[in-house]
Amino acid sequence: MTKSILIINRAGPYADGRAKAALDMALSAAVFEQQVMLLYTGDAVFQLVQNQQADLIHRKSPSAALSALPLYGVEKVYVDQAALISRGLEEQALAVEAEILNSNEMSNLLESADVAFAL
Amino acid sequence: MKFSLVVFAAPDGDPATLTALKFAQAVLDQGHEIYRLFFYQRGVYHGSSLAVYPQDETDINQAWQSFIAEQQLDAVVCIASAVKRGILNAEEANRYERPSANLADNFTLSGLGQWVDACVHSDRVVSFGEAQ
C-alpha cells in the first residue's frame, strides 16, 4: 500500500539535528516506495541554499542528501514563498528544483497528504 | 481505528512524553488499537533501563515500560538515534564493543523502516514533542 507522506521542514540546516532527521525520514519512506513530499518553511529554507561551506563549522551540508532525492524518487519539493521573501532569498539561490507555494497552496498540500510530520 | 505514535520528546523535562502516554492510554480505553510506538531522536531515552528518578518525581521511563508490557505493545526505538545516545541492546553492545547493554525489556531496536510501516498500516499517526 502506498501513502503520501509529507515532511514539513521548519529548522535551519545547522540549528540542531532536525534537518538531517527530516531527510532520513524522507529517504526511508522513499526506499519503501511511499509517495514523499517535502515542504520547507521558516528557517528551513536555508537548508536549500546552494554552496554551503558546512565543513568550516565541522558539520555536513544538506546538499549531498538533497541532490540524492531524485535518485530515490522524491521529486516533490515545495518551498514556502513567504519564508523565502522574508529572508531575502531568490528561487535561483536554491540548490534543488522546488515548487514555490503561497499559503493557500500550502493548505491544499497539507490537506492532500495522508500523513504529515513537522520537524 | 489503528493508531501509531511517534515520540520525539525526551522522557526528562518534556511534558509531551506524559501527553503521549495519556493519549496512548486513552486510545486503548476508547477501544482503538495501537499498531506501534516509534521512539525517535531524543525519544529513544525512553528505552533506557538505567534511568533513575528522584523519589518525588514520576518515573516516566518506568511508567512507559509498564504500560508497554501490560498492553503488549510493539515499541520500537530508532536504532540510529539510539546507539549514538548510548541506548544499546546486547547485540549492538557486542557489535560496537561497549561494556554493557541497557535497552529495557519489551523495546526493540530497529530502523526508520518500522516508522514507514507504521505510517502505511495505521489510520492515524500522531507525533509528540519537538524533534531536535
CATH of the domain at A83: 3.40.1260.10
Q: Is B78 a catalytic residue?
A: yes
Cell digits of residue B110? 530497529
Q: What is the pLDDT of residues B64-113, one digit of tens each?
A: 999 999 999 999 999 999 999 999 999 999 999 999 999 999 999 999 99
Structure confidence at residue A5 (pLDDT): 97
Q: What is the pLDDT of residues A32-61, one digit of tens each?
A: 999 999 999 999 999 999 889 888 988 888
Q: Contacts for A102-107 with beta carbons within 8 Å, 24 or more apart?
A: A106/A39, A106/A41, A106/A78, A106/A80
Q: What is the pLDDT of residues B50-67, one digit of tens each?
A: 999 999 999 999 999 999
From the list B78, B83, B88, B118, the catalytic residue is B78
Structure confidence at residue A67 (pLDDT): 87
To the nearest whole Å, the CA of B55 is away from the closest chain A CA by 32
Rounded mean pLDDT, A66-95: 93
Residues of B whose CB is below 8 A from A24: 80, 112
A interface residues, B as partner, C-beta within 8 Å: 1-3, 5, 11, 16-18, 21-22, 24-25, 28-29, 31-32, 34, 114-115, 117-119
In the sheet that holds A76-80, the strands lie side by side as A99-101, A76-80, A35-40, A4-9, A115-118
pLDDT > 70 fraction of chain B, expressed in percent and rounded: 100
B interface residues, A as partner, C-beta within 8 Å: 6, 40-41, 80, 111-113, 115-117, 119-121, 125, 127, 131-132
Structure confidence at residue A11 (pLDDT): 94
Report the number of distinct structural domains present in chain B.
Answer: 1
Report the number of distinct structural domains present in chain A.
Answer: 1
Query: Over chain B, what is the mean pLDDT?
Result: 96
CA–CA separation, A60 and A41 (whole Å): 20
Domain that holds residue A72: 4-118
Domain that holds residue B51: 2-128
Find the residue in A nearest to B113 (Cα). A28
Residue with cell string 481505528: B1
Answer for the pair A21, B41: CB distance below 8 angstroms, yes or no.
Answer: yes
CATH of the domain at B29: 3.40.1260.10
Closest CA to B87 of B21, B15, B33, B10: B10
Residue with cell string 534543488: A96
Residues of B whose CB is below 8 A from A5: 116, 119
